[in-house]
Amino acid sequence: MSHQSTYRPTGPFTEWLDKRLPVPRLMHDSLVDFPTPRNLNYWYTFGGILTFCLISQIVTGIILAMHYTPHVDYAFESVERIMRDVNFGWLLRYAHAVGASMFFFAVYVHIFRGLYYGSYKAPREVLWMLGVVILLLMMATAFMGYVLPWGQMSFWGATVITNFFTAIPLVGNAITEWLWGGFAVGNATLNRFFSLHYLLPFVIFGVVILHIWALHVPGNNNPTGIDVRGKQDTVPFHPYYTVKDGFALSLFCILFAWYVFFAPNALGHPDNYIPADPLVTPPHIVPEWYFLPFYAILRSIPDKLLGVIAMFGSIAILFVLPWLDRSPVRSLRYRPMTQIFFVGFVVACGVLMYCGGKPAEGVYVLWARLATAYYFAYFLLILPIVGLIETPRKLPDSIAKPVLPAPALAGGTPIGATAAPHTDG
């Protein structure tokens, strides 16, 4: 880690262990005495929330796997058995199904936070790109998980999404049959999706560790986007942010529990309670809500290959974002023009989500096309150009001494946090 370790072994055993496998030191330096900017707001609590979501999905998932049967003749029945016969099975399945939605809700907030405060800029490019890798892995995991209950939406969602690969010239069909293990989505497909659905969350876990490692080298960004200049700008992670994250997590869990207990199927599609029928396509296929914006991008382009390219491109573009945004100022707080375009970007994503859930006809197609155009223009035109022409607002001298009224100083000042004399650099 990039800061001086303050870990002191508490007894003979921890001292012995510290010389052999310094796990307590690693934990202390990353989670207890990690110097964290003192001005992090609630948008910054979603990292902790996401960690909770991942663990919750893994725990409920492993339990579901004890009762689930990955076979086309039994999958649907086995999920119904989980719902009706397995003790607390309904709770575990709803926690897992709703949990996936909560996970995506949290990750989208987390990403918009990063976009707003410029967290993707140097020196955090690798951190940001690892985040995009996690997003892709989450999408693959959730997609394959949704196939497992083998309802109508499972089957037809799997069919439509695997068919994306047929758009690849020449080898597309061979790749798709390889993915299916047959000539259509079938038992082989269900089996391998289960295997991969079990595997990928652990891959995500590994990438999350790299993500946190990449976070702890440069340290957190913060709402001002300016660098930490010394001790007066930071507070130790524990107790300041363990408590803040814990409080936010409690609120998040209330929302989560509300869905699980009062509206467990609100975020899903009722057609998925109809067993899969390879001969009948439901009249209106929609993916889960968290895929709708991407689905809308796919459908807004009338050419098959270009549609698929645009859809994957909408995520791939995030990988190069650190090099597209030309502004030296990180936080949009101090970028008046970009701030307005950012609001437009959030609206465009909302429009895409709305249109993705509607039939691809009439006015929805037009809106989806406009929003798709804006989505790409934001990254390819607005950020590169505006960064060069806009005049940023005046940046505060330091995190501890902002020119703007700062909530960090308005509240109680943490003892010791301002003790060091303020020096630049």
Partner 1 sequence: MSQTQADTTVTRRDFIYLGAGAFAAVGGAAALVPLIHQMNPAADVRALATIDVDISAIAVGQQIKVMWQGKPVFVRHRTPEDIAAAEAVDLSALRDPVPDSERRANAEENGMDRPDWLIVVGVCTHLGCIPIEGRGDYGGWFCPCHGSHYDTAARIRLGPAPTNLPKPPYVFLSDSEVQIG
Residues that bind partner 1 (CB under 8 A): 156, 159-164, 166, 177-186, 188, 192, 278-285, 299, 302-305, 307, 359-361
Q: Which amino acid is at 71?
A: H
**CB-nearer residue toward partner 1: 282 or 313:** 282
Q: Which of residues 174-213 bind ligand HEM (CB under 6 A)?
A: 197-198, 201, 204
CB of 182 to partner 1, least distance (A): 5
Q: Give the span between the Cα atoms of 44 and 310, in whole angstroms.
A: 30
In terms of Cβ atoms closer than 10 Å to its own Cβ (0-12, 13-18, 19+), residue 395 is: middle
Among 117, 128, 146, 342, binds ligand HEM (CB under 6 A): 146
**CB-nearer residue toward ligand HEM: 37 or 99:** 99
Question: Does the protein bind ligand HEM through residue 135 (CB under 6 A)?
Answer: no
Q: Where are the beta strands (DSSP E) in 175-246?
A: 234-236
Question: Does the protein bind ligand HEM through residue 72 (CB under 6 A)?
Answer: no
DSSP class of residue 1?
Answer: -
At which residue do the structure tokens 């390819």 appear?
A: 380
**CB-nearer residue toward partner 1: 76 or 155:** 155
| Of the candidates 57, 93, 407, 50, the residue with the CA atom closest to the CA atom of residue 249 | 50
Q: Which of residues 265-294 bind ligand HEM (CB under 6 A)?
A: 268
Under a CB-based contact definition with an 8 Å cutoff, are residues 68 and 26 in contact?
Answer: no
CB of 283 to partner 1, least distance (A): 5
**CB-nearer residue toward partner 1: 362 or 405:** 362
**CB-nearer residue toward partner 1: 8 or 284:** 284
Q: Is 85 strand, coil or helix?
A: coil
| Of the candidates 36, 9, 4, 3, the residue with the CA atom closest to the CA atom of residue 23 | 9
Question: Does the protein bind ligand HEM through residue 89 (CB under 6 A)?
Answer: no
- Which pairing describes strands 35-37 and 234-236: parallel, antiparallel, or unpaired? antiparallel
Kindly indicate which of the ranges 19-27, 140-148, 215-223, 301-309 contains the residues binding ligand HEM, using the contact rule CB under 6 A.
140-148
Question: Does the protein bind ligand HEM through residue 61 (CB under 6 A)?
Answer: yes
**CB-nearer residue toward ligand HEM: 47 or 396:** 47
Selection from partner 1, ligand HEM, none that 69 binds (CB < 5 to 8 A by kind) is: none
**CB-nearer residue toward ligand HEM: 190 or 310:** 190
Vertex 100: Cα angle to 290 and 93 (nearest 5)? 135
Question: Does the protein bind ligand HEM through residue 358 (CB under 6 A)?
Answer: no
* Lookup: tokens for 363: 């006015």
| Of the candidates 117, 149, 96, the residue with the CA atom closest to the CA atom of residue 223 | 117
DSSP class of residue 151?
Answer: B
Q: Give the span between the Cα atoms of 311 and 76, in whole angstroms.
A: 30
Among 93, 113, 121, 333, binds ligand HEM (CB under 6 A): 93
Q: Give the span between the Cα atoms of 321 and 309, in whole angstroms.
A: 18
**CB-nearer residue toward ligand HEM: 145 or 293:** 145
Q: Give the span between the Cα atoms of 268 and 79, in whole angstroms.
A: 15
Under a CB-based contact definition with an 8 Å cutoff, are residues 259 and 267 in contact?
Answer: yes
Selection from partner 1, ligand HEM, none that 329 binds (CB < 5 to 8 A by kind) is: none
Question: Does the protein bind ligand HEM through residue 311 (CB under 6 A)?
Answer: no
- Which positions touch ligand HEM (CB under 6 A)? 54, 57-58, 61-62, 64-65, 68, 79, 93, 96-97, 100, 103, 138, 141-142, 145-146, 148-149, 197-198, 201, 204, 268
